Amino acid sequence: SQTIHQWPATLVQPVGSPLSLECTVEGTSNPNLYWYRQAAGRGLQLLFYSVGIGQISSEVPQNLSASRPQDRQFILSSKKLLLSDSGFYLCAWSAWGKTQETQYFGPGTRLLVL
């Protein structure tokens, strides 16, 4: 079966510090991978998605970047965090089910920028 890992679970960082969040998927190959952010009490905002190694599509211009160095690894980074970067960061992967492609989420990283 497929599983998705994210770490760390919780992170507190000062403004201006760098960020690196990692996501790995097991049990599948060539998945589509996604990074979302969910601010407190708000909906899911798609940040980046990737359909293959080295292929990154950015949805919202901001001070974050993403990379996919390996098939099942997706990394979210920032050189300098802003207060507004606080939120719940969710990695997801998608796969074909019976009749349609379906998305599954990792456990998330809760980031607080102070």
Q: In the bound complex, what is the minimum distance in angstroms from residue 29's beta carbon to another protein?
A: 17
Q: Which of 13, 32, 58, 73 binds another protein (CB under 8 A)?
A: 32
Q: In the bound complex, what is the minimum distance in angstroms from residue 20's beta carbon to another protein?
A: 20
Is residue 53 close enough to count as binding another protein by CB under 8 A? no
Q: CA Rg, the chain, in Å?
A: 14
Is residue 11 close enough to count as binding another protein by CB under 8 A? no
Given a contact cutoff of 8 angstroms between Cβ atoms, the answer to whether 78 and 86 are in contact is: no
Bond into 8 cis (ω within 30): yes
Burial of 101 by CB count in 10 Å (0-12 exposed, 13-18 middle, 19+ buried)?
exposed
Q: Which residues bind another protein (CB under 8 A)?
A: 32, 34, 42-44, 46, 49, 51, 57, 59, 88, 90, 92, 94, 97, 99-108, 110
